[in-house]
Amino acid sequence: MMNFAVIFAVLNTIVLVVLLSIYARIALKSKAAHSIGLLVFALFLLGQNLITVFAYVTMSPLFGHDALPFLSGISAMEFVGLLVLAKITF
C-alpha cells in the first residue's frame, strides 16, 4: 500500500515539474502577478512532494498499517487535482 502512495507522489512531482516549466515560461514573458503566483505555488508544492517521497521511502516502516490507505488516498487525490490544474492550464 505504501508503494501506491510513493507512486502517486512521484507522479505528482512529474506533473508539478511540467506545470512549473509552463508557469515559468509564462511568467518570464508576461511578468504578470498571477503567473508568478502560480509559479511560487507550484514550487512550494513541488518541495512538499519531494519531501513526501523522501519520507515515504525512508520512513515507511514507521508508518502504521492503518495509516497507509489514508496516505495513498491523499496522494491520489492530489494527483487528480494536479491533473485538473494541468488540463485547465493547457
What is the mean pLDDT of the segment spanning 9-38? 93
Kindly report, residue by residue over 38-84, the tens digit of the pLDDT: 999 999 999 999 999 999 889 888 887 888 889 899 999 999 999 99
Is 28 a residue whose pLDDT tops 80? yes
Count the Cβ atoms, other than its own, within 10 Å of residue 21.
12
What cell does 69 get? 490507505
What cell does 31 get? 511578468
Residue 23: which pLDDT band, with cuts at 50, 70 and 90?
very high
What cell does 61 get? 516502516
Q: Please tell me the number of Cα atoms within 13 Å of 16 on its side-chain side.
A: 21
pLDDT value of position 80: 97
What is the mean pLDDT of the segment spanning 15-44? 93
pLDDT value of position 3: 87
